[in-house]
Amino acid sequence: MPKILAVCGSSRKDLRLESLVALAGAAAESAGAEVRTLHLDRLELPVMVFGDEAQGSLASVREVRESAAWADGFILGTPEYHGSMSGALKNWFDYLYPELAGKFAGVLATTGGGTGDMSITAVKTCFQWCHGFVLPFHACASRAAYVDGELADDKIRERVERIGHDVARYAAAIGQAFETARGCEGVAAGVAGLH
Ligand SMILES: Cc1cc2nc3c(=O)[nH]c(=O)nc-3n(C[C@H](O)[C@H](O)[C@H](O)COP(=O)(O)O)c2cc1C
């Protein structure tokens, strides 16, 4: 059973993003995954200071690192802020590196009125720089896609559900391939040999 961490990457309670992430999480569950959700607005996560060992013992930092280490795959949701991911989600990334390597992620975004492309690309790039693998499609919902607080666009709903299924599917496959690669010698281990 793949273990999926769904991350709600807003620094405030954001019902639209929460509902999008929950929809993908439910689809991953129906595909056989165990899903946990991390709401960054509920964590008192300080801005990461590299080399600050005291931060490592904070409950919020431990939760970030332990939940990421637990997961085989991720559903990462961000609001689009100034054409990029939220500061809260980038800060989450900054606490992590080995916990994301060889893992798989699908990305979701909400946006005021844009397409979300830049924020989605930012999340995917960041995940890849941590040596993770990303799903080659994604989903974004703008304010216009909601009616009375409910996602009213069936095409977006379908894409989000596809992402949940795919994250469950590929997290398991990529994780297995990465573990096998770790057992190889030298360059034959590829990226897994760097971890
Ligand atoms: C600091 C900040 C920057 C934002 N930048 C953008 C942006 O570049 N493009 C955009 O379409 N919406 C932008 N927004 C709107 C957010 O994407 C939107 O608030 C978020 O997706 C949550 O949706 P909601 O406010 O309808 O709940 C920004 C919001 C904030 C607070």
Q: Give residue 94's pLDDT band: very low, low, confident or very high (50, 70, 90).
A: very high
Strands 146-147 and 150-151, sheet pairing: antiparallel
Q: What is the DSSP string of 120-144?
A: HHHHHHHHHHTT-EE-S--EEEEGG
Average pLDDT over residues 145-155: 93
- CATH superfamily entry for domain 3-194: Flavodoxin domain (3.40.50.360)
Cβ-based neighbours of 118, under 8 Å, separated by 6 or more: 80, 83, 84
- Residue count of the chain: 195
112 CA → ligand 1 middle, Å = 5
Residue nearest to atom 7 of ligand 1 (CA): 82
Q: Which residue's alpha carbon is nearest to atom 3 within ligand 1? A: 81
Q: Tell me the domain boundaries of the chain.
A: 3-194
Q: What is the pLDDT of residues 75-90, one digit of tens each?
A: 999 999 999 999 999 9
Q: What is the DSSP string of 8-31?
A: E--SS--HHHHHHHHHHHHHHHHT
Q: Is 16 in the pocket of ligand 1 (CB under 6 A)?
A: yes
**Confidence check: pLDDT of 154 > 90:** yes
For 160-173, write each residue's pLDDT tens digit: 999 999 999 999 99
